[in-house]
């Protein structure tokens, strides 16, 4: 879970992705997926979270649908991409439809982590019209939000391809959604930074202010308190702080809002002894130049806090 280790669950090479779409029939045991990208929730947790979302939407008391659609009406439908992107959240969407219609048959055309073009199908469904209509918004909320994160992440990953730099997320996540949003980052090919405040030490500017700016003392105290093996990283605004962090034996430095020249100098100071990570105001327009300074990690808060939803819709083949 640290910033200094490989991703918790790396995205597999494209060659390992499923070739043939899978079909989930009403007799299948509900479960979390056959995708090579490991989903972070088990079947019980997935079901519980989705049910809570359906209850929040009063999906079991959908007055509009009950008033207009007869209970015996069966339809075919598909979740279709209006714009291209990377898919994430398929297990949650499947669960939403199955909770409203246990007899629904679903063909998965695009698993999590798959690039999809405009007009491409994510899921094809056959079942009760009422169930599909009542589950539609919850299923799309999960898919659009998580696919949006995966799509933005993939753009950043593509932008630094060949430099050796990894794209990391941050803790700037939606409360209650961190597990899913960090999963979506992995679906887009990114790497997870520390998952929470316990899984890694990051000594930031306010921590240093509270200890009189003494980086050596801050690192020492972190080593004494944290579990053995917990990585210790120091946020640095200046090259003097970088030198102090290296001397103190930190595992990594977070180079905050530094110029490209300063980043290159910081990489030289660390000389492979300390992991270097750039952060602060990183955009698609600037990320390539940042990566070319030689930093090993680039953290981007926008992956989770500013990613626009991927435009997906549920199209019915007539009612």
Helices and strands in the chain, H and E counts: 11, 13
CB 177 within 8 A of CB 170: no
d(CA 114, CA 150): 10
Residue 301 to residues 179, 229, 278, 286, 305, Cα–Cα distance (Å):
15, 26, 12, 14, 6
d(CA 86, CA 116): 6
- Cα–Cα–Cα angle for 231, 233, 238, nearest 5°? 165
Dihedral sign, CA of 287, 209, 192, 308? negative
CB 86 within 8 A of CB 188: yes
Which residues are identified as catalytic? 137, 172, 204, 235, 256
3-state secondary structure of 140: helix
Burial (CB < 10 A; 0-12, 13-18, 19+), residue 6, is: exposed
3-state secondary structure of 316: strand
Rg of the chain over all Cα atoms, to the nearest angstrom? 23
d(CA 44, CA 59): 20
Nearest one of 289, 297, 282 to 260, comparing CA atoms: 289
d(CA 183, CA 186): 5
- Helices 129-159 & 90-100, crossing angle to 10 degrees? 180
Question: Which tokens go with 67?
Answer: 């008033």
């Amino acid at each position: 879970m640290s910033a200094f280790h490989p991703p918790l669950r790396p995205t597999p090479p494209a060659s390992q992705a499923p070739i043939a779409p899978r079909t989930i029939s009403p007799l299948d045991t509900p479960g979390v997926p056959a995708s090579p990208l490991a989903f972070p929730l088990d079947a019980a947790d997935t079901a519980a979270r989705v049910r809570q979302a359906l209850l929040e939407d009063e999906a079991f008391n959908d007055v509009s649908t009950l008033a207009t659609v007869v209970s015996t009406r069966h339809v075919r439908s598909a979740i279709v991409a209006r714009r291209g992107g990377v898919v994430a959240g398929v297990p949650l969407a499947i669960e939403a439809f199955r909770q409203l219609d246990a007899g629904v048959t679903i063909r998965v055309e695009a698993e999590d982590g798959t690039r999809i073009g405009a007009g491409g199908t994510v899921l094809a469904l056959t079942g009760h019209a009422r169930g599909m209509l009542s589950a539609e918004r919850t299923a799309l909320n999960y898919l659009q939000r998580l696919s949006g994160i995966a799509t933005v992440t993939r753009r950043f990953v593509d932008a630094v391809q060949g430099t050796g730099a990894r794209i990391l997320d941050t803790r700037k996540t939606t409360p209650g959604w961190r597990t899913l949003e960090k999963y979506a980052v992995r679906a887009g090919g990114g790497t997870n930074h520390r998952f929470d405040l316990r899984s890694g030490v990051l000594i930031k500017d306010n921590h240093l202010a509270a200890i009189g700016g003494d980086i050596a003392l801050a690192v020492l105290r972190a080593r004494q308190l944290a579990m053995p093996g917990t990585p210790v990283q120091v946020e640095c605004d200046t090259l003097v702080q970088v030198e102090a962090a290296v001397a103190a034996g930190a595992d990594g430095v977070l180079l905050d809002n530094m110029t490209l020249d300063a980043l290159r100098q910081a990489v030289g100071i660390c000389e492979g002894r300390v992991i270097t990570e750039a952060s602060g105001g990183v955009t698609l327009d600037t990320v390539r130049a940042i990566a070319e300074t030689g930093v090993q990690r680039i953290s981007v808060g926008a992956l989770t806090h500013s990613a626009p939803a991927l435009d997906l819709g549920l199209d019915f083949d007539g009612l």
